[in-house]
């Protein structure tokens, strides 16, 4: 994702706090983190670099009063919930993280860079989402729609490849293709919430201003999501507004049905606008900076040796001058 190291001025902090307060009244959103929107890419952060952030969405229809799957009770969705996440890069090859879906629900993630991107070939990575979480874990919150057995959300492993096309076709665009299990499989084909893609997912990112602004579009194995990424010039802040499940604009509606045949609306039945705010920090340890420091230390050591040699030559010259003076005085 380019250079996202925290730099700048502290006055931006009050602005970030205002943003956080603004999304605090919204519901949790897509699984956005160091990737695209709801999907990963094949890139990992630099070693000892980390990011932390929140993700939240707003339902255009306001608060939902949905029902339990068996129709026995009405569920009022908690619109104050939002997700928080943290990720850390190791060795330039590994990325690990944790996500808080709600105060009692946490899930881990990991990604391993198999092959780095080259001028001709894409980067390849393998990873897993929702590690250690429950069957129904969801960015839509603890009262989200019930999931069928073939539609589990946890232990969602995947393979993914990404390529920046700029050096191939001279277009500032990054293309990602991947395949995954669990949450990438789409919903039960008998449900009309989304159209399953059999585990395939992909995205296109079109970049402007040296990747400071990017337009995003993806299919996450379940839905069509679009958004934009803005890399602000202060402290590694990245702001990503998005619309998830855009396809529901033309085939949405009250399509969820209880086992007793009662249709009711839920959060899957309509597009949702949302926002994510992230801060990238580091790398705390940079190999390039370490090499630079090592070179400076080597230069300093050589300078100290030359200074020592100069002092020795000076002492020899002073000794020789003294000897000549003694000879002249003795003569």
User: Which is more confident, 83 or 286?
Assistant: 83
Q: Report the distance separating Cα 31 and Cα 158, nearest Å.
A: 15
Per-residue confidence (pLDDT) for residue 154, from 0 to 100: 80
- Tracing tokens 């400071």 back to the chain, one arrives at 212
What mean pLDDT comes out for the span 15-30?
39
Give the up-direction half-sphere exposure of residue 221: CA atoms within 13 A in the CB hemisphere: 28
Exposure string (b/e) for 194-220, b if CB count within 10 Å is 16 or more? bebbebbbbbbbebeeebeebebbbbb
pLDDT at 7: 41
CA distances from 280 to 83, 142, 185 (A): 17, 28, 30
- Give residue 207's pLDDT: 95
Task: State residue 150's pLDDT score.
Answer: 58
The band of 44, judged by pLDDT with boundaries at 50, 70 and 90, is very high
pLDDT band of residue 226 (cuts 50, 70, 90) is: very high
- At 246-305, the pLDDT tens digits run 887 877 665 566 556 666 556 666 787 888 899 999 888 766 667 777 888 888 888 988
320 band by pLDDT with thresholds 50, 70 and 90: confident
For residues 205-231, give the mean pLDDT.
92
The terminus-to-terminus CA distance of the chain in angstroms comes to 82
- What pLDDT is stored for residue 73 in this prediction? 55
Cis, peptide link before residue 283, omega less than 30° from 0: yes
Q: What ranges do the domains of the chain cover?
A: 12-285, 291-331
pLDDT at 27: 34
- Please state, rounded to an integer, the average pLDDT across all residues of the chain: 76
Q: What is the pLDDT of residue 239?
A: 92
Judged against a pLDDT cut of 80, whether residue 32 lies above it is answered with no
**Cβ contact 108:137 at 8 Å:** no
Q: 215 pairs with which residues across the strands? A: 206, 228
Task: Identify the H or E element spanning 142.
Answer: none
Give the Cα separation of 151 and 135 in Å (integer).
Answer: 9
**Cα–Cα distance, 208 to 228 (Å, whole number):** 11
Q: 49 vs 290, which has greater pLDDT?
A: 49
Q: What is the mean pLDDT of residues 158-180?
A: 93
Q: Which CATH architecture has domain 12-285?
A: Beta Barrel (2.40)
**pLDDT tens per residue across span 142-168:** 555 555 555 667 888 999 999 999 988
- Segment 80-85 shows an average pLDDT of 72
10-19, 108-117, 217-226, 270-279, range with greatest mean pLDDT: 108-117
- What pLDDT does 296 receive? 86
């Amino acid at each position: 994702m380019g250079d996202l190291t925290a730099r700048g001025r502290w006055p931006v902090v009050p602005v970030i706090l205002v943003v956080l307060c603004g999304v605090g009244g919204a519901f949790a959103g897509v699984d956005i983190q160091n990737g695209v929107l709801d999907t990963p890419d094949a890139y990992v952060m630099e070693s000892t670099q980390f990011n932390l952030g929140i993700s939240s969405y707003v339902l255009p229809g306001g608060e939902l009063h949905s029902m339990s799957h068996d129709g026995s009770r009405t569920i009022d969705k908690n619109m104050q919930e939002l997700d928080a996440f943290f990720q850390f890069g190791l060795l330039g090859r590994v990325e690990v993280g944790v996500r808080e879906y709600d105060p009692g629900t946490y899930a881990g993630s990991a990604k391993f860079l198999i092959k780095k991107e080259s001028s001709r070939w894409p980067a390849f990575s393998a990873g897993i989402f929702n590690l250690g979480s429950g069957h129904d874990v969801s960015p839509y919150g603890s009262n989200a729609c019930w999931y069928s057995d073939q539609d589990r959300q946890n232990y969602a492993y995947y393979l993914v490849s990404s390529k920046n096309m700029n050096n191939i076709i001279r277009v500032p665009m990054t293309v990602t293709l991947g395949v995954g299990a669990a949450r990438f499989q789409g919903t039960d084909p008998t449900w009309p919430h989304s159209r399953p893609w059999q585990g395939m997912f992909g995205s296109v990112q079109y970049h402007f201003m040296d990747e400071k602004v990017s337009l995003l579009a993806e299919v996450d194995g379940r839905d069509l999501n679009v958004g934009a990424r803005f890399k602000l010039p202060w402290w590694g802040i990245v702001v990503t507004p998005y619309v998830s499940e855009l396809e529901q604009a033309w085939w949405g509606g009250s399509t969820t049905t209880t086992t007793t045949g009662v249709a009711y609306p839920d959060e899957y039945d309509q597009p949702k606008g949302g926002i994510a705010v992230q801060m990238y920090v580091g790398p705390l340890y940079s190999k390039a900076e370490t090499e630079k420091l090592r070179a400076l230390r080597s230069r300093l050591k050589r300078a100290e040796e030359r200074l020592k040699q100069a002092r020795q030559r000076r002492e020899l010259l002073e000794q020789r001058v003294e000897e000549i003076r003694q000879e002249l005085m003795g003569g």
